[in-house]
Amino acid sequence: MTYKNYPMVSRVVFGRGSFNQLEDIIAPKRNGRNAPFIYYVDDVFKGNHWLTSRISLSYSDKIIYVPTDEEPKTSQIDQLVEEIILEYSELPSGIIGIGGGIVMDIAKAVSLMLTNPGESKDYQGWDLIKNPAIYHVGVPTISGTGAEVSRTTILTGPERKLGINSDFTPFDQVILDPELTKDVPKDQWFYTGMDCFVHCIESLNGTYLNAFSQSYGEKAYDLCKEIFLGDYLSAEDAQDKLMMASWHGGMSIAYSQVGVAHAMSYGLSYLLGIKHGIGNCIVFDHLEEFYPDGVAMFKEMKAKHQIELPKGVCSNLEEEEIDIMINVALSLEPLWENAIGKSWKKVITSEKLKTLYKKM
Ligand code: NAD
Ligand code: ZN
């Protein structure tokens, strides 16, 4: 048995207002005036926003606003890389992603593709990246995905939705400033927060579980319980704690794997473009059979925060469309093996998934 030698984020700052240190932190990484810092920023912060007005640009540094109504595509990454190469005579000094999972994944992917030849779709998979990325920094503005700590960047390509998983993917620097999350709309707070909760449930109930994953997963689970079911947290405490829950949830799946909800939610996302957080919620709501306690607690959280999930998203689909989702879900073998065990194929059949999808 060989154990994974797992890369982690090299540096991390935590604290309300720590975003103000960004400039000082990255300054020593500047490789001269022709090598800019490129900031990808969620376009929700466009305009004279209190967050973006704190970014100071020098020389040819640039802010690029990213729309986040759709999850990142490999073609989009290739386009962004090409724009940088055409515009600048030198490679950037660094790529900084400020936003949710979408923007952080874009920053990771662009920093990898600037130093690796070919198209990003060629690198979807495990350990296909050969060259270290450009220096890259993640600044989450919403908590839950664990993208700030993970070894992957999830992209939808022409053939599949699959991450670029590599030792070079994790950020060199992360800035955890919970204050940046204070204006997240409530529904989105819940969906992305539940991504973290589902990470814990899938990791803690998986066959890949070990003490490493468990120690992070249990902490994240306790924090989620306190945040989503507790009554005594201030808004600030809740923001601080959810940011740390996201981190721990990400660390937990690093050394184990996600499970049924993620496998099926990838199907929804691939076919219908349903985003990760809400997709996980739609699926998880129907998974009592696999995660009875987790789903019961999820329903309690949903009721407490008066969240109404979309219903009937699969009810008007053709059989062939359902088959596409089933194939996407079934192709994620490690997720099923973690969730059910080595003989998962005996339990998880196309018929079984069809019945489940039809309930959603
Ligand atoms: P997101 O990036 O989709 O953003 C959700 C919404 O929240 C957007 O409308 C955005 O504008 C808004 N938003 C973000 N910060 C805000 C703020 N401070 N104030 C107001 N609005 C704000 O959300 P997400 O759930 O964090 O990310 C989902 C993406 O992450 C998916 O693409 C998914 O595939 C990816 N993901 C990646 C990993 C990984 O390990 N790389 C893990 C899980 C999910
Ligand atoms: Zn997730």
pLDDT of residue 286: 98
The verdict on the CB of residue 100 being under 6 Å from ligand 1 is yes
Q: How far is residue 265's CA from residue 254's CA, in Å, rounded to a whole number?
A: 19
| Confidence category of residue 1, pLDDT binned at 50, 70, 90 | confident
142 lines ligand 1 (CB under 6 A): yes
* 174, 13 Cβ separation under 8 angstroms: yes
186-359 and 11-181 share a CATH fold: no
Whether 178 is in the pocket of ligand 1, judged by its Cβ within 6 Å, is no
**What is the structure's pLDDT at 48?**
74
Q: List, in sequence order, the alpha helices (H) in the chain.
A: 22-26, 74-87, 101-113, 186-204, 211-229, 235-254, 260-272, 276-284, 292-304, 319-331, 333-340, 344-347, 350-359
Give the pLDDT score at 300. 98
**Nearest listed ligand to the Cα of residue 189:** 1
Is the beta carbon of 150 within 6 A of some atom in ligand 1? yes
Q: Which residues contact 40 (CB under 8 A, 6 or more apart)?
A: 64, 66, 80, 95, 96, 97, 98, 99, 103, 106, 107, 110
Closest atom, ligand 1, to C-alpha of 69: 9
Q: Topology of 186-359 in CATH? A: Dehydroquinate synthase-like, alpha domain (1.20.1090)
Q: Is the CB of 294 under 6 A from ligand 1?
A: no
Q: Which atom of ligand 1 is nearest to the CA of 180?
A: 18
What is the residue-averaged pLDDT of the chain? 96
Does ligand 1 have an atom closer than 6 angstroms to the CB of 42? Answer: yes
CATH code of the domain occupying 11-181: 3.40.50.1970
Please tell me the number of the ligand nearest to residue 43's CA: 1
pLDDT at residue 159 in the model:
84
The pLDDT confidence band at residue 4, using thresholds 50, 70 and 90, is: confident
- Which residue's CA lies nearest to atom 9 of ligand 1? 68
Q: Which atom of ligand 1 is nearest to the CA of 108?
A: 41
Domain ranges of the chain: 11-181, 186-359
73 DSSP assignment: B
Burial class (CB in 10 A: 0-12, 13-18, 19+), 115: middle
Distance 200 CA to ligand 2 centre (A): 10
* Distance from Cα 284 to the centre of ligand 1, integer Å: 18
**Mean of the pLDDT values across residues 193-219?**
98
Mean per-residue pLDDT, 288-298: 98
Any ligand 1 atom below 6 A from CB of 249? no
pLDDT for the residue numbered 331:
93
Q: Is 149 in the pocket of ligand 1 (CB under 6 A)?
A: no
**pLDDT tens-digit map of 236-279:** 999 999 999 999 999 999 989 999 999 999 999 999 999 999 99
pLDDT tens digits along 212-244:
999 999 999 999 999 999 999 999 999 999 999
pLDDT of residue 144: 98
CB of 146 sitting under 6 A from ligand 1: yes
Report CA(350)–ligand 1 centroid distance (Å).
30
Residue whose CB lies within 8 A of the most ligand 1 atoms, among 65, 169, 188, 191, for a mutation test = 188
> Is the beta carbon of 277 within 6 A of some atom in ligand 1?
yes
Tell me, using a 6 A CB cutoff, whether residue 153 lines ligand 1.
yes
How far, in Å, is the centroid of ligand 2 from the Cα of 47?
30
